[in-house]
């Protein structure tokens, strides 16, 4: 019997090619999108879970009550906390600190500026890393030992095993004790090299023994079954005992589960990649909606198709088929179609993944064998879609009365009209929703691109300062660079505006904040920096090359800092920097700059302090003018190479790099673009199918109308009007939804532009036009047909 069903299903499918195409294509797209999202979600949810103890690893975070009463959740903590916690609480098995730094790293003739993370030796007990060379055993237990990542190892040693060799980090010798294997793709954070924390002393790291300066990351490994709640409650005792009674209300440390950081964290100072979990929800919802409309397409077409199958159903019933058997037959057919669709859908996924991995910088793969959940999803989607979409037509068709259908009468109705209405309205609501959302996202992204960030970004060549540079050698370099025609400005700084927040230091400005101090972003820039980046000075003066004291005790602050500190007259005010056990140091404000967007547009402009400390200059910015960029870039590269022992330095153009700051947003825009296109495609397929069935159904009516003198235009209008009306209702549902969701999304930006009327009107026009074109051909054809043909009895 099953063979019989299969046979008849396949013959029907190959006979009704148009119908099969519409249904399979629609379902395949819907299923493909859903499976694609299953993989993405799975990837995101499993981020960092390859670490064996990931469920027991916690980041020590702190809710700091600031002077103004606001509470700031930070992901950083003071250096001594972790180890003390471990000693006091037996449920804390291990505690490791991560302190990011950078330095000039030299091996033989090769000198490069490298990021280095200082970590406690317990790091390999907490996180799971495999080693390419060496082993985790005691790798960082001695001072001046360093474990390299594979990338860094290759940079210095090519494919040689570097274990036992010595690297000079800022002229200090470090023994390479291991090389980590390639980074696991699902890691939300990364290092370049891990150096032993024991290598640091108070000169390198003044805040080492400061109990109040939040400046590094502490990860704790808890015992199995440790009670997190109790532990967090007891932290107030810990603060009272170790930091001071008066700090109990100020610092409320808490534990953030390592596994949750990627999707759920919203902490100040995140050093890890993160993804707002709501993106997953939104895209899953869109995926399900697309699948849903593909299913309604299927239901409608199959039901309409039922008219053609009426005779078969009648015959089967006369020959003794039970209703149940017919229902089973049609569901089996739906399942077959569903299998066909999922095969195509899976191919779609395979094609889409490389594209997605490329733009999102993920590495999602489909390991069918090692990913039972994906296989299960494929099976589930087939069964779900097959049975759910197959059920309605199955019950509808199996209820045909053989007495009627065998008389040669066509089954009188082709499904309930509410179903058709729902179909068209839902499809176009979703399509319009996506068009508007997608256009609004693009709108916001171009707004970001065009937004005046408050500093110059075009033709800005950025590189690292080559070699070990002293103030002297930097001046020499500047002189050489200026000899190149086309170079108009050169400056050195610790950071480049627009990309990095700079480092954060606890500082104590004069006034209300003097007591508790405040965590402030800061840059170090040379006296040419503000001019080159065209950052306006609103008060006071710029740093001066002639005043040696500027690099030691002068600072420039931004307007946001002036507001934060509550200063009426900022020039001449002082800001104090102090670490426990060290002499405090005062800095005098010599100038105020206009606020500029030194961070991304997700955040509003925060207070910023500019120092002028040459020992912190890492970046070199060169402003180019007009000339042909390519030869000029090559020429600069050659010069920098000579300053870097013949090793080429990296470089990029600021404008390009700023665009990359919005990867997530770009990925979303790109995905929305495709989803919109596919949804429109499915919606049009559905509309096309429906219109052709309607036209068939109304062939006789059209014939009679024509005989009675109806005009062709009148007929096309009569046939199209209903559909266009439904598309319009779709607009009324989709547009407000899109507006609501986009407004929510825009809240993630401190600076945004609301979608304007043109987007809504445009979406309406585009959809109507596409719908009309879809309907047009069929209706015109029907209206032009010779009425004799349609009125003749079969």
CB of 278 to another protein, least distance (A): 49
Is 311 a binder of another protein (CB under 8 A)? yes
Kindly state whether residue 412 participates in binding another protein, applying the rule CB under 8 A: no
Q: Given candidates 144, 325, 410, 666, which one binds another protein under the rule CB under 8 A? A: 325
Judged by CB under 8 A, the residue of 173, 228, 233, 318 near another protein is 318
The residue among 779, 527, 497, 528 whose CA lies nearest residue 654 is 497
Residues 109 and 112: their CA atoms lie apart, in Å, by: 10
Judged by beta carbon, residue 228 or residue 403, the one nearer another protein is 403
Applying CB under 8 A, among 159, 203, 372, 407 the residue interacting with another protein is: 407
Using CB atoms within 10 A of its CB, is residue 83 exposed (0-12), middle (13-18) or buried (19+)?
middle
Q: Contact 109/646 with Cβ under 8 angstroms?
A: yes
Cα separation, 690 vs 420, in Å, equals 8
Neighbours of 737 (CB within 10 A): 15
**Cβ 295 to another protein shortest distance, Å:** 25
Question: E strands of 77-209, at which residues?
Answer: 77-78, 92-107, 110-119, 131-134, 145-148, 166-169, 172-180, 193-196
Q: Is 314 in the site for another protein (CB under 8 A)?
A: yes
Nearest to 300 by CA among 186, 482, 147, 427: 427
CB nearer another protein, residue 379 or residue 403? 403
Interaction of residue 6 with another protein, rule CB under 8 A: no
Nearer to another protein, 187 or 325 (CB): 325
Find the shortest distance in angstroms from Cβ 300 to another protein.
Answer: 22
Token code pair at residue 519: 């965590």
Q: Exactly one of 228, 240, 285, 315 binds another protein (CB under 8 A); which one?
A: 315
Q: Is 321 in the site for another protein (CB under 8 A)?
A: yes
What's the DSSP call for residue 268? B
115 lies in the site for another protein, by CB under 8 A:
no
Contact flag: residue 707 with another protein (CB under 8 A): no
Q: Is the dihedral of CA 82, 87, 88, 92 positive or negative?
A: positive
CB atoms near residue 275 (< 10 Å): 18
What is d(CA 583, CA 79) in angstroms, rounded to the nearest whole number? Answer: 19
CA distance 469 to 616: 11
* Angle, in degrees to the nearest 10, between helices 712-746 and 417-450: 50
Site for another protein contains 4 (CB under 8 A): yes
Rank residues 402 and 776 by Cβ distance to another protein and give the closer one. Answer: 402
Smallest distance from the beta carbon of 393 to another protein, in angstroms?
A: 17
Closest CA to 450 of 683, 53, 753, 56: 753
| Contact flag: residue 322 with another protein (CB under 8 A) | yes
Q: How far is the CB of 314 from another protein (least distance, A)?
A: 7
* Choice between 325 and 514, CB closer to another protein: 325
Given the complex with another protein, which of 6 and 750 has the nearer CB atom? Answer: 6
Contact 228, 255 (CB under 8 A): yes
Residue 181, token pair as written in the block: 């294997």
| Residue 317 contacts another protein per CB under 8 A | yes
Given a contact cutoff of 8 angstroms between Cβ atoms, the answer to whether 374 and 366 are in contact is yes
- Is 408 near another protein (CB under 8 A)? yes
In sequence order, which ranges of 64-122 are alpha helices (DSSP H)?
A: 81-88
End-to-end CA, the chain:
33
320 binds another protein (CB under 8 A): yes
Which residue lies nearer to another protein by CB, 230 or 412?
412
- Other CB atoms within 10 A of residue 539 CB: 17
Find the binding residues for another protein in span 55-74 (CB under 8 A).
none
Residues 590 to 649: which contact another protein by CB under 8 A?
A: none
Sole window of 166-174, 312-320, 708-716, 766-774 interacting with another protein (rule: CB under 8 A):
312-320
Distance from C-alpha of 380 to C-alpha of 376, rounded to nearest angstrom: 6
The minimum distance between CB 308 and another protein, in angstroms, equals: 10
Site pattern 367..406 for another protein (x: CB under 8 A): -----------------------------------xx--x
Instruction: Select 4 or 626, whichever has its Cβ closest to another protein.
Output: 4
- Give the total of residues touching another protein (CB under 8 A): 25
12 is a site residue for another protein (CB under 8 A): yes
Minimal distance, residue 21 CB to another protein, in Å: 18
Indicate the residue among 14 and 472 with the shorter CB distance to another protein.
14
Least distance in angstroms from the C-beta of 7 to another protein = 7
Phi, psi of 352 (to 5 degrees): -80, -30
Sign of the Cα pseudo-torsion (465, 466, 472, 476, in order): negative
Burial class (CB in 10 A: 0-12, 13-18, 19+), 687: buried
- Please say which residue, 12 or 464, places its beta carbon nearer to another protein: 12
Nearer to another protein, 311 or 582 (CB): 311
> Taking CB under 8 A as the rule, does residue 585 contact another protein?
no
Please say whether the beta carbons of 790 and 703 come within 8 A: yes
Stretch that binds another protein, among 130-138, 193-201, 319-327, 595-603 (CB under 8 A): 319-327
8 scored as a contact of another protein (CB under 8 A): yes
Among the residue ranges 321-329, 357-365, 459-467, 626-634, the one whose residues contact another protein (CB under 8 A) = 321-329
Radius of gyration of the chain (CA): 34
Residue 92 makes CB contacts below 8 A (sequence gap 6+) with: 85, 86, 220, 221, 222, 223, 226, 231
The residue range among 241-249, 294-302, 310-318, 365-373 that interacts with another protein, by the rule CB under 8 A, is 310-318
- Give bridge partners of residue 460 from the DSSP assignment: 623
Question: 3-state DSSP call for residue 539?
Answer: strand
**Residue number with CB closer to another protein (407 or 792):** 407
From 346, 370, 344, 366, select the one nearest 357 (Cα to Cα): 366
Stretch that binds another protein, among 132-140, 311-319, 546-554, 612-620 (CB under 8 A): 311-319
53 near another protein, judged by CB under 8 A: no
Closest approach, Cβ 423 to another protein, in A, equals 27
Binding residues vs another protein (CB under 8 A) = 1, 4, 7-8, 11-12, 15, 311-312, 314-323, 325, 402-403, 406-408
């Amino acid at each position: 019997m099953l063979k019989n069903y299969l046979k008849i299903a396949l013959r029907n499918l190959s006979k009704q090619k148009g119908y099969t195409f519409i249904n399979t294509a629609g379902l395949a797209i819907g299923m493909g999108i859903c499976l694609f999202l299953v993989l993405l979600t799975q990837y995101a949810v499993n981020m960092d879970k390859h670490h064996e103890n990931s469920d027991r690893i916690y980041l020590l975070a702190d809710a700091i009550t600031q002077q103004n009463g606001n509470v700031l959740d930070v992901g950083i903590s003071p250096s001594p906390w972790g180890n003390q916690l471990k000693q006091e609480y037996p449920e804390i098995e291990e505690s490791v600190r991560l302190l990011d730094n950078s330095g000039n790293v030299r091996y033989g003739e090769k000198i490069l500026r490298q990021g280095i993370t200082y970590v406690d030796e317990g790091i390999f007990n907490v996180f799971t890393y495999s080693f390419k060379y060496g082993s985790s055993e005691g790798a960082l237990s001695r001072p001046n030992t360093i474990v390299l990542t594979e990338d860094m190892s290759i940079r210095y040693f090519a494919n040689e095993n570097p274990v036992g060799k010595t690297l000079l980090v800022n002229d200090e010798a470090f023994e390479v004790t291991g090389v980590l294997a390639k980074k696991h793709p699902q890691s939300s954070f990364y290092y370049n090299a891990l150096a032993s924390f024991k290598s640091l002393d108070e000169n390198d790291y003044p805040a080492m023994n400061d109990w109040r300066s939040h400046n590094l990351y502490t990860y704790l490994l808890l015992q199995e079954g440790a009670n997190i709640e109790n532990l967090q409650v007891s932290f107030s005792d810990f603060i009272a005992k170790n930091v001071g009674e008066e700090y109990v209300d100020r610092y409320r440390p808490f534990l953030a589960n390592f596994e949750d950081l990627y999707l759920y964290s919203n902490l100040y100072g995140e050093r890890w990649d993160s993804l707002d979990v709501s993106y997953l929800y939104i895209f899953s919802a869109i995926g399900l909606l697309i699948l849903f409309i593909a299913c309604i397409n299927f239901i409608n077409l199959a039901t309409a198709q039922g008219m053609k199958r009426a005779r078969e159903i009648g015959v089967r019933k006369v020959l003794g088929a039970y209703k149940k058997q017919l229902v089973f037959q049609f569901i089996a057919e739906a399942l077959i179609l569903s299998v066909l669709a999922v095969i195509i859908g899976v191919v779609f996924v395979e094609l889409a993944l490389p594209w997605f991995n490329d733009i999102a910088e993920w590495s999602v793969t489909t390991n069918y064998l090692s990913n039972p959940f994906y296989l299960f999803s494929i099976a589930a989607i087939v069964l779900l879609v097959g049975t759910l979409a197959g059920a309605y037509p199955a019950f509808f068709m199996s209820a045909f009365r053989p007495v009627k259908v065998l008389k040669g009468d066509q089954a009188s109705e082709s499904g309930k009209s509410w179903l058709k209405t729902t179909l068209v309205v839902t499809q176009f609501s979703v399509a319009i929703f996506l068009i508007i959302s997608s256009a609004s996202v693009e709108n916001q992204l171009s707004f970001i691109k065009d937004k005046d960030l408050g500093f110059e970004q075009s033709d800005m060549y950025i590189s690292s300062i080559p070699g070990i540079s002293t103030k002297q050698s930097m001046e020499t370099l500047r002189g050489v660079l200026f000899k190149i025609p086309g170079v108009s400005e050169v400056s050195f700084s610790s950071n480049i505006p627009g990309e990095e927040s700079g480092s954060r230091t606890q500082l104590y400005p004069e006034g209300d904040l003097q007591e508790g101090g405040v965590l402030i972003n800061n840059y170090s820039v040379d006296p040419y920096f503000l001019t080159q980046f065209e950052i306006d000075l609103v008060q006071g003066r710029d740093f001066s090359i002639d005043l040696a004291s500027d690099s030691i005790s002068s600072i420039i602050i931004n307007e946001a800092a002036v507001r934060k500190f509550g200063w009426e007259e900022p020039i001449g005010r002082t800001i104090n920097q102090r670490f426990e056990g060290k002499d405090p140091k005062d800095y005098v404000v010599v100038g105020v700059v206009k606020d500029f967007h030194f961070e991304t547009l997700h955040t509003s402009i925060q207070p910023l302090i500019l120092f002028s400390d040459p020992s912190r200059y890492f970046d070199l910015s060169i402003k180019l003018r007009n000339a042909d960029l390519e030869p000029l870039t090559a020429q600069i590269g050659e010069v920098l190479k000579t300053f870097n022992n013949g090793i080429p330095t990296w470089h990029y153009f600021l404008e390009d790099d700023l665009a990359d700051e919005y990867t997530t947003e770009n990925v979303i825009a790109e995905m929305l673009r495709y989803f919109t296109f596919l949804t429109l495609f499915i919606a049009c397929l559905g509309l096309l199918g429906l219109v052709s069935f309607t036209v068939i159904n109304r062939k006789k009516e059209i014939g009679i109308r024509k005989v009675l003198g109806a005009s062709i235009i009148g007929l096309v209008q009569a046939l199209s009007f209903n559909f266009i009306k439904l598309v319009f209702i779709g607009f009324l549902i989709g547009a407000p939804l899109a507006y609501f969701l986009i407004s929510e999304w825009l809240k993630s930006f401190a600076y945004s532009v609301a979608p304007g009327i043109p987007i809504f009107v445009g979406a309406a026009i585009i959809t109507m036009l596409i719908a009309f074109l879809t309907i047009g051909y069929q209706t015109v054809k029907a209206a032009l047909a010779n009425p004799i043909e349609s009125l003749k009895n079969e």
